Amino acid sequence: MAIPVPALAASTGRRVRFNFTIPVLLAIAALALLATPWYGERIEGSALALAWNGGRWWLAPTVLGWLVVLVGWRMPTDSVWRGRVITAGALFGLVWVLLQGFAVGMRGLDWAWFAIFGPVRDGQPGLGAGGFLTLGVFTLLLSQGIAAMGKFRGDGFISGAVWSIGLLVGLFVFFPVARVLVSAFTNQSGELDLALAWERLTASDIWGLGCLISGTSCGVAWNSLLLAVLAGVLSTLLGLAFALLALRSGFRWRRSLQVLSILPIITPPFVIALAIIVLFGRTGMVTVWLETWFGIEPSRWIYGLPGVLISQLLSQTPLAFLIMLGVIQGVSPTLEEASQTLRATHWYTFKTVTWPLLRPGVANTCLLGFVESLADFGNPLVLGGNFEVLSTKIFFAVAGAQNDPGRAAILALILLVFTLGAFWLQQRWLGKASYVTVTGKGDAGLPTPLPKRVSALCYATALPWAFFTAALYLLILIGGFVLDIGRGDFAPTLAHFRTGFLVEWGERGVNWTGSAWDSFFTTVVVSAIAAPLTTAIGLLTAYVVARQQFAGRRSFEFMTMLSFAIPGTVIGIAYIVAFNVPPFELTGTGLILVICFVFRNMPVGVRAGMAALSQLDKSLDEASLTLRAGSAYTLRRIILPLLRPAIVATLVFSFVHAMTAVSAVIFLVSAKYNMATAYIVGRVEVGEYALAIAYSTLLIIFMLLVIGLIKVGVGERKLGRRSNNPGDLLPGAH
């Protein structure tokens, strides 16, 4: 943001910097107020035009902020008042735009006290290009003013980054969640109603214990907790078995285990649930087989806790496996060797040294699995049957006949408390109990082989599970190419691809006649826009947090990571509640999908960036600074080129996640902007499994292609010796 331009001061030869940032921002603000449509729809005209002859006087005071900033900018640079005046002007502009936006609603005054400024007769729609541009520019002006006051070491770029990220996260994470909390405690007409909130909160379908006392079903909260505990513990144990096999045994196909662990990452979350229906549903292959050979009556047992649990385990075990790999590698083999030189047996060593060292990591993985399961939406939706959990209950509270946002908000609140509680527990309890034994010193020890009984147990659990997973994926792969896999009809056909993805050559060029193309293109475009934005904002945040010192850095970091702990369904309902009304009217647009992905996936970019930065010697930044480079220049020429691996990882992750996400998205899609996953869920609901599976196969293949392209496009990091380099032929002075 700071654009330093060197000019030679004749007398000394020292460079003097002239800062263009503020005048450029002021010019953009003027453009936004004078010549850009202020509203998003219905009412045409810029803010000042509408204020002048549209009777919308409340749009005018923003100019006051602009003028104050202008005055501040003209003040001498060494005056202490310069920064304060700019800050005050920008703050006034920012606050006023927000204030009038909330005060004057769709049908007139929403906040009655606003009338003290003057009478308001008309309502107004949500902000448009002019409004958003003004908000953005005033935020940047505010950050420049604060930098001019000497905060952020006077660095306008860092100040701008921190304030823009902070405001964006505030607007797109905190504001919607806060709106949900408010709507949980208010009635339909928007008044505070604690009695109603209490009634909703204690409803028997949330907390009821019918399944223990009588024959009825239990409340959704208990269902969710039970499922999450089971999924967390079992996926961790499976992951542990896989990881022990991969690292501590002579197992021959270790590498294929790793491949198996990548698959679920690029699989839309409910596809596995589909495959399970195909196997164990009422007309599923295994069910039919069991009936023919053993006379076992077909039933719907898979719809409910067993089915949801199995499909969650299938998608979570690979993640647990990856985490446990890291945990086991963190146990220094030397410690185990030390135990053995003290005459301990394999089993005794495992019991008294290895396992206690693994325990914090295991508990950590359990908690992550617990949270994953709570947040999962796709599997319970497809396989839940009468077994309802919080995330699906939230969805059905707003979608369909009920449409009770207040109830959805209470359920979302309970879900949020559960997940945040789990993360709090993790920080509190496990933050201290970690015994990391990886040091800078080389560790010459050899990992001790597993005790016989442990290794037997690992083989007995992991191998069948691996075969099961492989079989399911095989089923998904062929499912799209056969007539009706749901009823065991394996006649090969391309009919499903024709329905979904038919391309015809008409007289006016290509016709995308397949029914799935619309959602496919929307998904690709939205993901392709969201991925680079996620990467940029994530890595910028990481850089600011890891490499800069400023007041409030810790809380800034916490704030940017928080959206990670908020389940997708909660974000979905929150976005509907917050962005359905002015001043931020975004539902039904493609923009809201992009925004949703950017802020949901941003924490992963932050983590990847921080991890990569911790490997970069800080003296590289410092060397750049002592060579008179500003932080923006350092970021562009030194940090970014060296962060390429993290950039690739974040691009891939955010693209893939945007393509496969379902929980938040399903609330936000519209007829015009439908997403692949929402389309597939729709097909599943009407029983068209084959088309759903065909579509999923196509998505998986497409994502593999894109990942390959991203890796080629961004390229590998060039730090080592280059071949065919003319420089290598020159005589070196060694």
Partner 1 sequence: MAVQAANVVFENVSKKFGDFTAVDSVSFTVEAGTLVTLLGPSGCGKTTTLRMIAGLDSASGGRVLIGGKDVTRLAASERDVSMVFQSYALFPHLNVIDNVAYGLQAGGMRKEPAREQARTKLALVGLSELEVRLPSELSGGQQQRVAVARALVLEPQVLLFDEPLSNLDAKLRRKVRDDIRALQQSLGLTVVYVTHDQSEALAVSDRVIVMSNARIAQILSLIHI
| Residues within the interface to partner 1 (CB under 8 A) | 4-6, 13-15, 150, 153-155, 617, 619-620, 622-631, 633, 637-638, 641-642, 717-722, 725-728, 730-734
Output Rg (C-alpha) for the chain, integer angstroms: 29
**Based on CB atoms, which residue is closest to partner 1, 239 or 630?**
630
The secondary element (H helix, E strand) that includes residue 680 is: helix 676-685
Taking the complex as a whole, how short is the minimal distance between the CB of residue 3 and partner 1, in angstroms? 10
Q: 202: helix, coil or strand?
A: coil
Nearer Cβ to partner 1, position 634 or 650? Answer: 634
Least distance in angstroms from the C-beta of 103 to partner 1: 41
Q: Which residues pair with 504 in a beta bridge?
A: 511
CA–centroid distance for 342 within its chain:
48
Give the nearest distance from C-beta 614 to partner 1 in angstroms: 16
Which of residues 498 and 717 has its CB atom nearest to partner 1 in the complex?
717
Closest to partner 1 by CB, 82 vs 393, is 82
CB of 88 to partner 1, least distance (A): 23
Residue 83 or 101 with smaller CB distance to partner 1: 83
Residue 342 or 729: the one with the smaller Cβ distance to partner 1 is 729
Contact 121, 108 (CB under 8 A): yes
> How far apart are alpha carbons 127 and 316 in whole angstroms?
41
Whole-angstrom distance, CA of residue 126 vs CA of residue 103: 12
Produce one character per residue of 663-681: b if its CB has 16 or more CB atoms within 10 Å, e if not.
Answer: bbbbbbbeeebbbbbbbbb
Closest distance of CB 730 from partner 1, Å: 5
Query: Whose structure tokens read 């393509």?
Result: 659
- Cα 108 from Cα 164, distance rounded (Å): 30
Closest distance to partner 1 from the beta carbon of 152 (Å)? 10
As a whole number of angstroms, the distance between CA 532 and CA 664 comes to 20
**653 vs 671: CA distance, rounded Å:** 27
Q: How far is the CB of 631 from partner 1 (least distance, A)?
A: 8
Distance in angstroms (rounded) separating the CA atoms of residues 457 and 436: 26
Residue closer to partner 1 by CB (options 107, 721) is 721
| Choice between 329 and 615, CB closer to partner 1 | 615
**Which of 401, 733 has the CB closer to partner 1?**
733
For the bound state, the minimum distance from the C-beta of residue 543 to partner 1, rounded and expressed in Å, comes to: 16
Residue holding tokens 């047992």?
A: 301
- What's the closest the beta carbon of residue 76 comes to partner 1, in angstroms? 17
The tokens for 612 are 């990569």
607: nearest Cα among 527, 535, 690: 535
Residue 176 CA to residue 184 CA, distance in Å, equals 12
Both tokens of residue 158? Answer: 């860092």
Please tell me the total number of residues recorded for the chain in this structure.
734
SS3 label, residue 193:
coil
